[in-house]
Amino acid sequence: MNKHALCKYLRSCFFVFTVLLAPFYLAAHIIPKPTNMVLGEGHFNLTHHSQISYNHNTAQPVAEQLAQFLRAPTGYQLPVTQANNTIKQTIAFKIVDLPLNKEGYQLIVKQDFIEVKARTATGLFWAMQSLRQLLPNEIESRMPINRQSWLIPTVEVVDQPRFSYRGMHLDVSRHFFDVAFVKRYIDWLAMHKLNTFQWHLTDDQGWRIAIDAYPKLTTIGGTRPHTVVGHTYDYKPLFDNQPVSGFYTKAQIKEVISYAKARHIDVIPEIDIPGHSSAILAAYPELSCHQQAVNVQPQFGIFEDVLCPREDVFEFLAQVYKEVAELFPSQYIHIGGDEVIKKQWLASPIVKQLMQQHNLSTPEQVQSYFIKRVAKIVQELDKKVIGWDEILEGGVADDALIMSWRGTEGGIEAAKMGHQVIMSPYQYIYFDAYQSRNLDEPKAIHGLTRLKDVYQYDPQPSHLTDEQQRYIIGAQGALWTEYIKTPRHAEYMLFPRLSALAETLWSNKVNKSWSDYSQHRLPNLLKRYQQMQINTANSSYKPIISSEVIDNKLVAKITTDIAGPTIYYTLDGSEPTLNSAQYQRPIVITKHSQLRARSYVDSQARLVGDARLTLSPHLAIGKKITLKNPAAGDSAVKLQDGKFAYDQFYNADDYAIFYHSDLDAVIDFDTPTLVKQVSLGYNSGRHRQLHPPTKIQILGSDDQLNWQNLATITQPHGPMSVLSFAPIKVRYLKVIAINAKQSDDIQIPKLPLYIDEIAVN
């Protein structure tokens, strides 16, 4: 597209945006934010006398979709007719030549008529989503609402997306979601102008797509015996004894694809290989290198069982991908390629022979060989390969698209190599992470991805050249469902983060504004979600408690990501109410306290959140500490930061971490100091049950040569231990916590000991 022509076109369409019109602009709540939009001062009245027209056969389906959408809440049976001219009281859909890309559109709302213009039906469909948001929120009701007319503000919009690939992922392996939910999911993507749905159909915990040639993939691989209660990495995991099963027939998959196509969404299947293949091998164990019985995994994580790089395995995959390719019209097939444990390959005589035959020297090169073989299978089916960024290791197929999930580094490397890239970094756009650290958040996998993090993420790193940036064709959010069992939970994790992702991918970077989005347009969108009966998170309004040591004083701060809410707090652990103290400035903590806070949100007329943080201004803060065994990274500072981690969900950043080693710390008080108690935090107590130490010992000394045992406890229980002893003056205090070190989990070969504080009183 010619940028100069576009600029000239925009100038011809719009008058200069003035301060006088700003209030009208803020009244138009469209997410994602359009490229250009100017409001007038009047309204178009949608009544039962209105009608809908289209000028071209390709525009007809969109016109009929609007009529159908309006029918339920309004009761209007609006006629849909073909016409080239726009008459009064008409919403006219027009295929015309515009200097916009194929998904761009122009939307003109006058008092007498509405014109929707685009080069393609896709552009008209996205325009319809904007028009939908200009209507009152009640239009989302699927029940009739009695009113004489529906007002739409007069407006002129010229809009087009920043990225061509705007995706969202759904994992149906870990928990199965029926066709009705998948269709709703697609509706949500369409509303937010996302154009790609990645369907994660297979994993260790279940195979969810019917393959005629291999029926045991669903009859055996489609069921696991139970699911973990709590977290899969708890040191004493429990299970619910409830089988999880389900798969989609080919007829159901065709139904979903047709549904998505009508909403201009491409459906990309993911068949994850060669790792994450326990469900395959449970059905067909002969496809592994060891050819022994394998179970569909009841836990979550990464497992040793992988497909073997043998010819019969590639024949199996050729048939599977053939049936997948026949079902899905998308030009892409996602082959996974992530988190491959290569232990079985290295132990296999077959793989050793393969490495000699093909001059492969590393297991990464074996993985590359496997991926290239699968890529060739997919290419021969006239499809393109997408793989997670691990497929870069050892060399990658020439035309493979790279989906960068472990951060942005893989995507950056791929762009520099000339591969197209879809950014999907877990730190920013994985929606299975927590949305706040408040205790009223539902269970999530781990990590923290706030709404603001999603909104402020930019898929194109600024340090890349313009040419390299062009290889980044977009980004994709992900909803992994290890800990998401129900549609209502899925809704909570998606909304409103999905809207922030949509704006990140659609809107011009220069047009984006967190304050405009969060304070002006988001509150209205949340009300629209309410009309849609979506279970929406309000996490960005919840308090965020932080603390730091300033001049040996422990100071707490309370903020919110969205500015404006009034914050109420208590220091005694009691629940804050509207009668509690109102937060005005940082709080100096003078004694062991549990700080709790809640926010009052005007637009919701209620208190939200339950932020908690236990703070302890103890004797060891600011004192020199010496560790016999170093803590990982710079995590040692967590031993003396004055805060305990157990009031919030697990986050590794809260702890000093000792991998396969013990805590052996000596604190120097400078002068003999009276001590009588040591509190040691070592277990989150929330969400994750971390491995506790097997023994804790406290010793005192005046010279670091002669040590006196002050207190000892064996087999302590979390989330913390308080060791009291007779008051004694010592200059040095030694704290020892013994790491259990024994790990039966292949994913945690070096068992970490997490210590979040050594509080001395």
Using alpha carbons, select from 618, 625, 727 the residue that is nearest to residue 675: 727
Contact of 82 with 53, CB cutoff 8 Å = yes
Task: Give the Cα separation of 278 and 311 in Å (integer).
Answer: 19
Catalytic residue from among 140, 156, 171, 203 = 203
Those residues with Cβ within 8 angstroms of residue 23's Cβ, 6 or more apart along the chain or in another chain: none
Strands 165-171 and 105-109: unpaired
Report the C-alpha gap between 544 and 356 in whole angstroms. 57
Q: Are 582 and 723 in contact (CB under 8 A)?
A: no
Q: Which of 175, 276, 334, 419 is catalytic?
A: 276
* DSSP letter string, 722-752: EEEEEEEEEEEEEEEEE-------TT-SS-E
Q: Distance between CA atoms of 209 and 202, rounded to whole angstroms?
A: 8
Task: Report d(CA 179, CA 248) in Å as an integer.
Answer: 8
Beta-strand relationship, 581-582 and 566-570: antiparallel
Report d(CA 508, CA 530) in Å as an integer.
28
Of the candidates 316, 227, 245, which has an alpha carbon nearest to the alpha carbon of residue 280?
Answer: 316
| Structural contact between residues 647 and 594, judged by C-beta atoms closer than 8 angstroms | yes
Q: Residue 153: which residues within 8 A CB-CB, separation 6 or more?
A: 24, 27, 28, 39, 40, 42, 43, 109, 134
CB 89 within 8 A of CB 115: no
Going from the C-alpha of 540 to that of each of 386, 448, 500, 506, 570, the distances in angstroms are 33, 12, 12, 22, 21
Active site residue 311: no
Which one of 270, 339, 390, 641 is the catalytic residue?
Answer: 339
Report strand pairing: 113-118 vs 105-109: antiparallel
Q: What are phi and psi of 456, to 5 degrees?
A: -90, -5
Name which of 667, 671, 691 is nearest 757 in CA terms: 667
Q: Whose CA is closest to 211, among 313, 336, 316?
A: 316
Q: What gap in Å lies between CA 8 and CA 336, rounded to an integer?
A: 44
Does residue 276 have an active-site annotation? Answer: yes
Q: Would you name the residues annotated as active-site residues?
A: 203, 276, 339
